[in-house]
Amino acid sequence: MAKSRFEYVRQFESQNLLLPQTYIVVRIDGKKFHEFSKFYNFNKPNDERALKLMNACAKNVVLTYKTDMILAFGESDEYSFILKKDSQLYNRRYDKLSTLIVSLFTSNYVHLWPKFFPDVQLSPKHLPFFDSRCVCYPNIATIKDYLSWRFVDTHINNLYNTVFWQLIQVCGMTNQEAEDKLSGTVSSEKQEILFTDCKINYNNEPEMYKKGSLITKKGELLHIDVIKQIDELFKGFE
Ligand code: ATP
Ligand code: ATP
Ligand code: MG
Ligand code: MG
Ligand code: MG
Ligand code: MG
């Protein structure tokens, strides 16, 4: 095709390349999902339908890019996709990777919504959208720590949220009272409050809530102790 005299404007485009030989994490996160979850009456603190919808979207992303993926991990409104360090996907262009993964995830979310929320219509004024970032991790130790960080975050958030909402829903506390009661408590104290005040043993909570969701490169869904199995998970990807 003949080039026009306007072609020069392409020179203003900058190409951001992700460092070679580093593990790439693309993390997506729902925009204003606190509000979104309120609008669609998600069960608190964990709406099972919403988590399963997230997992189904992530699985489709993983399977689309399976030759480049190591695994994906998700909790709440976020998912991390971990790519092999020698991946040449989109020549490691930051914007291609970030935008294509997040838009594929989002289109799946909208497409699969009716399967998981058959009685709830998506409102055009409250459509789901997600942000996305790419981060490079230089070695196997830091990528293992990255995954462990998200796993521990899942645990900390879920324990807090489980006790917080039980104190409100079962013990009839106000948000402020529940917040005050939990302020400054460590993990074991929260579990104790849950047990004595709400008669709930945290160990019996669903695995998906406690451990988050891990998707293998084959698309298998697991709810496992990531930290215990961290070496296993990256075997062969070093
Ligand atoms: P931002 O746009 O900055 O990400 P946000 O409102 O999405 O803001 P997050 O820190 O991402 O804030 O937290 C997501 C929130 O979405 C959770 O705190 C929770 O209120 C809600 N949420 C997400 N998934 C679920 C779920 N499966 N069940 C119930 N609530 C959920
Ligand atoms: P890439 O993934 O690199 O963007 P691509 O196949 O999307 O590859 P583009 O240069 O973006 O390539 O071109 C988009 C192509 O999509 C067009 O060449 C055309 O074949 C097709 N296309 C897009 N919009 C229309 C349309 N409205 N009607 C018919 N064909 C269309
Ligand atoms: Mg955020
Ligand atoms: Mg969010
Ligand atoms: Mg989030
Ligand atoms: Mg195109």
Report domain extents, the chain: 16-153+207-233
Cβ–ligand 1 distance for 153 under 6 Å, the answer no
Average pLDDT over residues 175-196: 96
Residue 21: other Cβ atoms inside 10 A: 10
pLDDT of residue 235: 97
* Distance of CA 100 from the midpoint of ligand 6 (Å): 11
Residue-wise pLDDT for 199-223, tens only, equals: 999 999 999 999 999 999 999 999 9
The CATH architecture that domain 16-153+207-233 belongs to is: 2-Layer Sandwich (3.30)
pLDDT of residue 104: 99
Conformational region of residue 128, where left means phi above 0, alpha means psi within -120 to 50, and beta covers everything else: beta
Which residue out of 31, 32, 33, 47 has the highest number of ligand 1 atoms within 8 Å of its CB and is therefore the one to mutate?
A: 33
Over 80: is that where the pLDDT of 63 sits? Answer: yes
Over 80: is that where the pLDDT of 236 sits? Answer: yes
Selection from 84, 63, 100, 88 nearest residue 137 by Cα = 84
pLDDT of residue 81: 99
Average pLDDT over residues 79-101: 98
pLDDT of residue 2: 80
What end-to-end distance do the CA atoms of the chain give, in Å? 44
* Angle subtended by helix axes 175-182 and 140-169, to nearest 10: 130
- The band of 45, judged by pLDDT with boundaries at 50, 70 and 90, is very high
Over 90: is that where the pLDDT of 50 sits? Answer: yes
Chain-wide mean pLDDT for the chain?
A: 97
Give the list of residues 6+ apart from residue 39 with CB closer than 8 angstroms, or none: 123, 126
Residue of 30 and 170 predicted with greater confidence: 30
- The band of 128, judged by pLDDT with boundaries at 50, 70 and 90, is very high
Selection from 156, 111, 122 nearest residue 36 by Cα = 122
Over 90: is that where the pLDDT of 180 sits? Answer: yes
pLDDT of residue 188: 97
76 is in an annotated binding site: yes
Which structure tokens are listed for 234?
């990256």
Give the list of residues 6+ apart from residue 219 with CB closer than 8 angstroms, or none: 59, 62, 63, 66
The continuous run of DSSP H or E covering 228 comes out as: none
Strand order in the sheet with 69-75: 130-137, 23-30, 78-83, 69-75, 213-216, 221-222
Cβ–ligand 1 distance for 77 under 6 Å, the answer yes
Q: Strands (DSSP E) along the chain, which ranges?
A: 23-30, 69-75, 78-83, 130-137, 213-216, 221-222
Q: Quick check: ipTM above 0.90? A: yes
59 is in an annotated binding site: no
Which structure tokens are listed for 147?
């995954």
Instruction: Name the pairing type of β-strands 23-30 and 78-83.
Output: antiparallel
Q: How many residues would you count in the chain?
A: 238
